Amino acid sequence: MKCIDAHVHIYEHFHGYGFMGEFRIFPDGTMRMAGGESGRVIPEGFGTTGVSAERALAFMDEMEIERAVLLQGSAYGFQNEYISESVQRYPDRFTGAATIDPCIRLFDRVFDRLTKELNFNIFKMEISEFGGFMGYHNPNTFLDEPNLQKICAHLNRTNGTLALDIGQPGTVSHRVEKYLAWVERYPDMKFVFCHLLSMTPKNVETLRREMELLNQPNVWYDLASIACNTSEHAPYRWAREYLKIAGDIAGAERLLWGSDMPTTLSDYPYLEAQEIITKAGIFSDSELKRIFRENAKDAYSIK
């Protein structure tokens, strides 16, 4: 199926950092955190210590992915320079998002370079406590960091987009009421909540309540890793129940296909991940076309 994938990762070299310190990558694509936990982050055949733009493009051609939105997070290591270079080399295939730690001392200098020199008008903020800012910043004060408001104010002026991974329900980063205040304060920017708010099993009422709260015209949701978060395979009971709720509340026009590739491909082959949505019996053909292609153009201002 021809599509735009709104949630893709590439990294010149994996050098993540999170709640358990640094992540060390090994040549077989596995990593180990400073605390000792380990796992695979690069599927076989995608690289050793990194996933290049060219390897991603080869896979995109194979899967008929017309364009990928390149997102970032601490778990992979910030890749602003590499994302910018990749977009410049392949402007018809990649749309890039920057990221920045709002707590760094020279925030203004770095932010100016990202927006004025590298021309980013999309930012991805990985706030989750596992692979994001809440894993190594004070969760009681982080969301009140003034530089977060600087990012939003800038994107509001430029009609830009902020993608947010807020982590799973029950974690310190999953504070929907806080993000709702941003959505309402900055109506001229676009918000994309990644992973359909990262629902784990048995959170039907939580998803319904939170999507009703966030039901604003400047809010979209990507559907990346919904089965990873529910830890299930066919028949995908929870993932598809959440898709039905999303369709009922936000409408198909506010949902974006995303794969979270390459890491997720070890557990969910690309076509299988697509079929969670296409074979759910929830969306019409015209709605699926919007989800898999057209909505990303709106959410990320893709020409």
- Reduced 3-state DSSP string for 108-133: HHHHHHHHHHCCCCEEEEECCCCCCH
Element housing 274 (H / E): helix 270-278
d(C-alpha 277, C-alpha 289), whole Å: 11
Could you say which DSSP state residue 258 is in? -
Residue-by-residue pLDDT tens, the chain, 303 positions:
899 999 999 999 999 999 999 999 999 999 999 999 999 999 999 999 999 999 999 999 999 999 999 999 999 999 999 999 999 999 999 999 999 999 999 999 999 999 999 999 999 999 999 889 999 999 999 999 999 999 999 999 999 999 999 999 999 999 999 999 999 999 999 999 999 999 999 999 999 999 999 999 999 999 999 999 999 999 999 999 999 999 999 999 999 999 999 999 999 999 999 999 999 999 999 999 999 999 999 999 998
Give 3-state DSSP helix, strand, coil % of the chain, rounded to 5: 40, 15, 40
Task: Write out the two tokens for 14.
Answer: 């994996």
d(C-alpha 67, C-alpha 90), whole Å: 10
In the chain, the amino acid numbered 255 is L
**105: burial class by Cβ within 10 Å (0-12, 13-18, 19+)?**
exposed
Phi–psi pair at 215, nearest 5 degrees? -75, 75
d(C-alpha 134, C-alpha 212), whole Å: 25
Number of domain units in the chain: 1
d(C-alpha 288, C-alpha 291), whole Å: 5
List, in sequence order, every beta strand (DSSP E) within 82-204: 94-96, 122-126, 161-165, 190-193
Q: In sequence order, which residues have a C-beta less than 8 Å from that of residue 275 and are 6 or more positions away? A: none
In this prediction the pTM is 0.97
Q: In sequence order, which residues have a C-beta less than 8 Å from that of residue 206 and are 6 or more positions away? A: 169, 199
Q: Tell me, what CATH number does 81's domain have? A: 3.20.20.140
* Domain region containing 260: 3-299
